[in-house]
């Protein structure tokens, strides 16, 4: 029995996710119309907000997706990102680094934190959950230390606010630099500039998607996630994969943090607070299983759109912030339920096949 490509697509998880996204948009459009008297949701302005708020959790989702497919998890990526953002701000403000040097050093340090996570998990056999949670706390402490002005008589932890000219290279504000790096497109008759960071994010999803599906390394990530013991017995080195992916996840966190700093012109201890949650939810909604071995970057990207569109929807219907928080949690529960249900249906299919 041969299925054509379209039929196959309609049965895929990707298709279900797209339907979910469309449904979400329709519901919020109608809902906001009823509540506000006119549609405040499906608008150009809302779209730009969605895009603008995508990058930070998006990069966390990229790192988390790879780790989760390999059967691991990293809860420290957002803290490492906040540290990287703060470090970049501090090195520019206090030590007068140029922007690219600041970013480079911040990312190298992020990678080192990730490498240390991998040591804890692989050499000391910590549960990844515990190791990265502890790491998260360590990094947050270090971040406050970095934020202190060394020239002050009695240094205290603070938020570093940058001069707008210092770090707008990555930023969302339309500047000359952005005209050069960004892209002009036409939308509803207006010319808009797509910020450089969103281009970076899409590029990251595409590159990592290709790595996962088309390269030998990507296949090994799936093998290790599917069954580490069996992967070892066919000659794959799960440890090596784990080191690479923990380091990668931390660097992705670092990029997210640096982007946060460039967009807000702030090194803040509150940075990326809710974004780890969003990143993980996006990955799981997109079909990346906690158990490892399944899912892909395309799904994770749509998962990310769903979470962002959801947040925007809560704004459009004027929901109280605590309601939004509660519903974000519900969204995660939905994601986990999908994960659980699909795992069960796979097992059921297998039983049927016997």
- Note whether 351 binds other proteins by CB under 8 A: yes
Token readout for 154 is 């009695």
The tokens describing 206, both together, are 């595409």
Q: Among residue numbers 318 through 347, which ones bind other proteins (CB under 8 A)?
A: 346-347
Interaction between residue 230 and other proteins (CB under 8 A) = yes
Q: Is 48 in the site for other proteins (CB under 8 A)?
A: no
Of 105-113, 213-221, 269-277, 314-322, the window that binds other proteins (rule: CB under 8 A) is 213-221
Q: Report the alpha-carbon distance of residue 174 to residue 123 in Å, rounded.
A: 47
Segment near other proteins (CB under 8 A); pick from 69-77, 97-105, 199-207, 223-231: 223-231
Answer for which of 229, 270, 321, 322 binds other proteins (CB under 8 A) is 229
Q: Which residues of 101-119 are buried (b: 16+ CB within 10 A; e: fewer)?
A: ebbebbbebbbebbebbbe
- CB 354 → other proteins: shortest distance, Å? 6
Residue 352 near other proteins by CB under 8 A: yes
Q: Which residues of 277-297 are buried (b: 16+ CB within 10 A; e: fewer)?
A: bbbbbbbbbbbbbbebbbbbb
Residue 325 and residue 285: Cα distance in Å, rounded? 17
The values of phi and psi at residue 136, to 5°, are: -55, -45
With a CB cutoff of 8 Å and minimum separation 6, the contacts of 36 are: 316, 317, 318
- Does residue 217 belong to the site contacting other proteins (CB under 8 A)? yes
By CB under 8 A, is residue 214 in contact with other proteins? yes
Closer residue to other proteins, CB minimum distance, 11 or 184: 11
CB of 40 to other proteins, least distance (A): 44
In the shown chain, the binding pattern of residues 280 to 319 toward other proteins, with x for contact by CB under 8 A and - for none, equals -------------xx-------------------------
Residue 261: burial class (beta carbons within 10 Å; 0-12, 13-18, 19+): buried
Residues engaged in binding other proteins (CB under 8 A): 1, 214-220, 222-223, 226-227, 229-237, 293-294, 346-347, 349-354
């Amino acid at each position: 029995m041969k299925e054509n490509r379209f039929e196959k697509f309609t049965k895929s998880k990707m298709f279900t996710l797209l339907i979910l996204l469309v449904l979400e948009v329709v519901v919020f459009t109608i809902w906001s119309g009823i509540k506000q008297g006119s549609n405040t949701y499906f608008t150009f302005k809302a779209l730009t907000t969605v895009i603008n708020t995508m990058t930070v959790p998006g990069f966390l989702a990229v790192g988390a997706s790879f780790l989760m497919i390999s059967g691991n998890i990293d809860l420290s990526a957002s803290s490492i990102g906040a540290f990287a953002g703060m470090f970049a701000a501090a090195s520019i403000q206090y030590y007068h680094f140029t922007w690219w040097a600041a970013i480079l050093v911040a990312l190298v340090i992020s990678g080192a934190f990730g490498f240390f996570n991998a040591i804890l998990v692989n050499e000391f056999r910590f549960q990844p959950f515990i190791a990265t949670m502890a790491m998260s706390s360590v990094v947050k402490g270090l971040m406050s230390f970095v934020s202190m002005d060394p020239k002050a008589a009695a240094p205290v932890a603070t938020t570093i606010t940058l001069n707008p000219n210092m770090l707008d290279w990555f930023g969302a504000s339309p500047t000359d630099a952005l005209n050069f790096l960004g892209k002009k497109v036409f939308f509803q008759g207006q010319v808009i500039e797509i910020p450089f960071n969103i281009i970076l994010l899409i590029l990251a999803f595409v590159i990592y998607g290709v790595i996962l599906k088309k390269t030998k390394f990507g296949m090994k990530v799936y093998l290790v996630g599917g069954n580490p013991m069996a992967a070892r017995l066919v000659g794959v080195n799960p440890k090596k994969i784990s080191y690479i992916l923990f380091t990668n996840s931390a660097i992705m966190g670092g990029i997210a943090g640096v982007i946060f700093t460039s967009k807000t012109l702030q090194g803040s201890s509150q940075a990326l607070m809710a974004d780890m949650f969003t990143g993980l939810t996006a990955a799981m909604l997109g079909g990346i299983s906690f158990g490892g071995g399944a899912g892909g970057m395309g799904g994770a990207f749509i998962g990310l759109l769903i979470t962002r569109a959801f947040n925007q929807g809560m704004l459009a219907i004027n929901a109280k912030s605590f309601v939004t928080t509660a519903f974000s949690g519900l969204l995660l529960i939905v994601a986990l339920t999908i994960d659980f249900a699909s795992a069960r249906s796979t097992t059921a299919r297998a039983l049927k096949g016997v």
